[in-house]
Amino acid sequence: MADGQSATAQPADTLTRCYLVRHCDVENPRRVIYGHLPGFGLSTRGIAQAQSLGRFFRTTPVRIILASPLQRAQETARIIQSHLQDVPIVTTDDLVEAEFGRYLQGVAQTQIVWRRPLWWIHLAWPGILPGDESMAAMANRAQRALDHLIDVAPGAGGLCISHGDPIQAFWANSDQRPPWALHRLQCAKGGLLTLDYMGHRLVEKQYRSPDEIARLAETDPA
């Protein structure tokens, strides 16, 4: 964690619900891979998605929001926060975009296959190239952030706002899938994993798409 706090033991029978949220849709008219680049904020669609997330979370006992330092995650966090009461945002590098994004960033999506040929090696086995991260490494840093939520708000929990690859790495790792499964699972922008922990043991998870969240947010009586 950015503040240097580490996970501590919680009672094994304490149930805590955490949410691992992907940032919302990004303004990207040139359709480039933005990776770690600055200046990529939310699109009109992304703002609407974040508003839906905020309405969805109004009826949940969220105590804290942890967020990647990148602009798209920070904007998502602030919009969600605007729907909640006295919920702080804490920035942590544990939730930042995959390191391999630095190799791809700035390249048009349609040009990746010939301008960034190491992409194929990454697809086959994430983590074996210099400047890459293994699926386990990304999953572990996502888990550190989740452990922090459990420690600071046991029984209540909160949100981790991250990026596609770290979330999918956590998801695949928790399913005990092989590394090449990283890109077989897709958490859409504005989607999330609901994660129930007993102590620090994951007991249940569920994926919700942005469309499902929008429907649920519309039925919120608040």
For residue 98, what is the DSSP state?
A: P
* pLDDT surpasses 70 at 3: no
> 17-45 pLDDT, tens per residue?
999 999 999 999 999 999 999 999 999 99
Give Cβ neighbours of residue 63 (< 8 Å, ≥ 6 apart): 87, 152, 153, 156, 157, 158
What pLDDT is stored for residue 219 in this prediction?
78
CA distance 125 to 65: 32
CA distance 140 to 146: 10
Q: What domains are there in the chain, each with its CATH number?
A: 15-28+42-99+127-218 (3.40.50.1240)
> 195-205 pLDDT, tens per residue?
999 999 999 99
Q: Which residue blocks in the chain are alpha helix, DSSP H?
A: 44-57, 71-81, 101-104, 112-115, 119-124, 135-152, 164-174, 210-218
**Which residues share a beta bridge with 159?**
19, 65
pTM of the model: 0.93
